[in-house]
Amino acid sequence: DVKVTQSSRYLVKRTGEKVFLECVQDMDHENMFWYRQDPGLGLRLIYFSYDVKMKEKGDIPEGYSVSREKKERFSLILESASTNQTSMYLCASSLISQRSNQPQHFGDGTRLSIL
């Protein structure tokens, strides 16, 4: 069965800290994604990666960076955490398809609070 694992369910950090959110998938998927979810705004794409060491900015990349050194692992980095980055973060993965019809598979999310 498909499995996307996020390293932490809940995380509390302080303003200015460097924060790492980790995501691992066991399905050999090429694509991986990081979203943040806020009430009333749905899911907004932060970054995505379609191959090892490849990344593309999503809709809201400011204040974030990513790392994909291995196919199965995609890390989201908050360089200097701020209170407006308090949110639910969701990782997802999918197969590459020329017809773009492959669904994304999601982890259970990390609820991050920045104090």
Partner 1 sequence: AQSVTQLGSHVSVSEGALVLLRCNYSSSVPPYLFWYVQYPNQGLQLLLKYTSAATLVKGINGFEAEFKKSETSFHLTKPSAHMSDAAEYFCAVTDSSYKLIFGSGTRLLVRP
Chain positions contacting partner 1, by CB under 8 A: 4, 9, 31, 33, 40-43, 45, 48, 50, 56, 58, 90, 92, 94, 96-97, 99-109
Look-up: residue for tokens 């694992």?
A: 5
State in angstroms the smallest separation of the CB of 40 from partner 1: 6
Cα–Cα dist 89/45, whole Å: 10
What's 15's DSSP letter? T
State in angstroms the smallest separation of the CB of 80 from partner 1: 27
Give whichever of 17 and 108 is closer to partner 1, judged by the CB atom: 108
Helical segments of 1-115, H only: none
Among residues 103, 105, 73, 106, the alpha carbon closest in space to that of 88 is found at 106
State in angstroms the smallest separation of the CB of 43 from partner 1: 4
